[in-house]
Amino acid sequence: MISELPQLFGKNFLIGFVLPAMLLLLTLAFIGDLHGLTHFRATTEGLLAADGKKDFGLPVLHLGLLVVAGWIAATLLLGVNYQITQALEGYGAFNPIGLLVHYRRWHYRRLVASSDGKPKTDKEKAAQDAAFITLAQDYPEDEALVLATRFGNALRASERYPQVIYYMEPMQIWTRLQSIAPQSHLDFLADQKASMDFFVNLWFLSLIAAAAELAAGYWVDHRVVWPLVAAALVAAFAAANGARTQAMQYGELVKTTFDLYRGALAEQLGVVLPATLKEERALWLSVSQGMLFRDRKAAAKWDAFRKKPDAKREPFAPAGRVANARPVKRWTL
């Protein structure tokens, strides 16, 4: 949360958080008008009135309050963005979306079965290729890792990519990759993340709008506008699909970051990227274990991949050292 505060006036914050928050507030104001709880319609009519003698003071004040409330709601959304994203992925012991995990795992097994065997016809070959592509883009590599939603599986597939291909621990390596990737690439990542956040927040806020209409209808005037509830649920479903599409595109950028900048990271760590994938996997496995577990034995394996010192360079000697000087005893761990 604190690291995001400087971005509260940036373009990505406006797209990912302010815009969904304003849409929610406008929807809640409309719902309040329907049930006699607010006077949003009168405020808008006051602002749009053509009569020059109309007093615009109160409507403008209401509009200003709406903007401030939208900004506060957007900031709160930013604070709970991680929890909302996890809810759409299907995490949580009391999350009803988690029940879909059984269907997703059944679908995963069906795709695996479609990808097995040797195709005999062009149609079977096309179906097998489609199954391979869907497994790679929409699912992690193991059934036990499959989540309840397409959105969650798309994100997990991108998170698992560096571990499957390079034996890299994604979270530990990712923070270090971000420190060396070009700013243009980081900006591209941030733009795509903002697009994904917009749909994730729109999904969550659409559910809130549906719940608000049900609550107002039952407890205020005992009149639920069911088309409005249905529209909010349809919007939530469409937003979830949009979030999944954006998650796939964001995941491709994440995988690209590992592919393109791992060599620069190796150089910054003082090691040489091996020529073969087998040796490179051994390197990143030792690096990941050293960083993740603070494992000295794993970190000691980096020595096999360290840069060789320049043969022409004189070895380091302390200032003032003379020939045939007696060695100085040093404390060692």
Tell me what pLDDT residue 36 has: 75
Cross-strand pairs, 271: 306
> Which of 92, 203, 200 lies closest to 155 in space, CA to CA?
200
pLDDT tens-digit readout, 301-313: 988 998 776 655 4
Tell me what pLDDT residue 223 has: 87
Residue with tokens 């941030």: 190
Q: What is the mean pLDDT of residues 121-130?
A: 89
Spatial distance between the Cα atoms of 203 and 251, rounded to a whole number of angstroms? 19
pLDDT tens-digit readout, 245-300: 999 999 999 999 999 999 999 999 999 999 999 999 999 999 999 999 998 998 99
pLDDT tens-digit readout, 164-223: 999 999 998 999 999 999 999 999 999 999 999 999 999 999 999 999 999 988 888 888
CB of 232 within 8 A of CB of 41?
no
Question: CB neighbours (10 Å) of residue 214?
Answer: 16
Spatial distance between the Cα atoms of 247 and 250, rounded to a whole number of angstroms? 5
Tell me what pLDDT residue 8 has: 64
Tell me what pLDDT residue 44 has: 55
Distances (CA, A) of 297 to 140, 176, 267, 301: 30, 21, 21, 7
Tell me what pLDDT residue 66 has: 79
* 13-17, 186-190, 314-318: least confidently modelled range: 314-318
Pure H helices in 139-182:
150-166, 170-178
Spatial distance between the Cα atoms of 227 and 202, rounded to a whole number of angstroms? 19
CA 161 to centroid of chain Cα atoms: 15
* 16-20, 39-43, 54-58, 225-229: least confidently modelled range: 54-58
| pTM, full prediction | 0.83
